[in-house]
Each structure stands twice: as C-alpha cells, then as structure tokens.
Amino acid sequence: MNYKDILKKINRKGCWNVIVVDGVVGVGKTTLMNMLVEELGYKAFLEPVVDNPILDKFYYDRERYSFSLQIFFLNNRFRMIKEAAKMNNAILDRSIYGDLIFAKMLMESGEMSKEEYGLYVDLFENMIEHCHAPKLMIYLETSVDEAIKKINKRGRDYEKIVERDYWQRLNNHYSEYFNSYNISPILKINVDNMDFQNNPQDKEYIFNLIYNKLKEIESNI
C-alpha cells in the first residue's frame, strides 16, 4: 500500500487549526517551530525525543526496536494531535500525519517485518480516521549531506553512529511521501545553505513564505 492510499483514511470534514513542521532528522524543525511560536504565539508540541526510552536503543539495534519505537511514536503523536486540536492555535514538530514514513522505510529495508508493518498500518488507519487535516503542513527540504552536517553538529551519539545510507533512504522516503501528500495546504521550503536561526535575511525569507501561505489559506476559507 502506498502513502496516498493510506492518507485517504483521514477525516476530510474540515481541518484543525494546527501547523505542522516536518522534514528529515536534523533539518531544523524544532528551531523553526520555536521561532514561529515566538512570532505567532502558538502553543508548541515537541516531538517526543527527550523522554523516549527506546530511541537511543533503536539506533544501535534497529531490527529489534523498530516496531516498538514506531508504536511509541504513533501513540504519542495521536495523543498530541488530539490535544493540539483542542487549543485551536498549535504548532507541532512532526505529527501523526507523517509517522508512517519511518515505518514504511523500515519495513522495506527488512528492519521491520511485514507482519509488524501490517499491524502498524492497521493501528495508524484506525487512529487517522479520527484526525482532521492540519491547517498548514510546512515541509523543510534538504540534501542528505546538509542534514548529516547538522546531525553531527547537534552531537547526539546515537545519531552520529548511523550510516549515510540510512539517512539517504529516509530522505528518499520523505520526498516520496510529500510528493504524494494531498490532505492539506503544504509549503515546501528548501533550506540548504540557510541559517534561518542566525541569519536575519534567511529568517525573513522563510517567514515571508509562511505568512503569505497563511494569508492565502485564510482568504480561501
């Protein structure tokens, strides 16, 4: 089953007033989310990384921990999107909508069994039927080399041990997913050679793109 077929399960009756920032590991999702929170006054919902008891184990033994990690993320992201939807002004660093990217990649690489993936998809579809589309999906595009530079700079030991092929496959799956994504307005921004956290011109460029997209969305409501 491809991404588009699975995303058909989402509730199409209206949208939730939430913004999602997504992209590969290391692209700058959390940084941009925090900047938007400061500018827009939205409530932030962080990806469950810090208090995740499985994440570091996964990177050292992906075949053993892939299924349990994805179930952990899926459960937490479902809980978070329900809470975010009640607030009417939330922004999320990743979300349930793109959770299946990792599961599908891990199944295709043999690091998650087809049986486990089938269980995962069944649970995902059961949850996503209760979710409406986000107001806006922001996808931060980047090259693999740029992502790896940022991952190494961030310095998480369990990420630094991962081979380049894994990050390449992840980037490919992100591209495939967001080429299929059609459940809400989407803004794709290539952030290669950008430092929107420290460079005012880069920040202004990205914020103008986001503001203009939000104005476009509001005008169509």
pLDDT in tens, 194-205: 999 899 999 999
The CATH architecture of the domain made up of 3-219 is 3-Layer(aba) Sandwich (3.40)
The model carries a pTM of: 0.92
Task: Return the percentage of the chain with pLDDT > 90, whole number.
Answer: 69
User: C-alpha 34: how far from its chain's center?
Assistant: 15
Spatial CB neighbours of 144, under 8 Å, sequence gap ≥ 6: 164, 167, 168, 171
The mean pLDDT value for 59-78 works out to 94
Q: Classify the phi-psi angles of 126: left when phi > 0, otherwise alpha if psi is within -120 to 50, otherwise beta.
A: alpha
Please give the mean pLDDT across all residues of the chain. Answer: 90
How far apart CA 112 and CA 62 sit, in angstroms, is 8
When pLDDT is cut at 50, 70 and 90, the band that residue 160 belongs to is confident
How far apart CA 206 and CA 21 sit, in angstroms, is 13
Is 99 tagged catalytic?
no
pLDDT at 1: 65
**Degrees to nearest 5, angle at CA 119 with 140 and 77:** 40
When pLDDT is cut at 50, 70 and 90, the band that residue 64 belongs to is very high
- The one catalytic residue in 5, 61, 93, 122 is 93
When pLDDT is cut at 50, 70 and 90, the band that residue 40 belongs to is confident
- Closest by CA position to 31, among listed 178, 195, 168, 185: 195
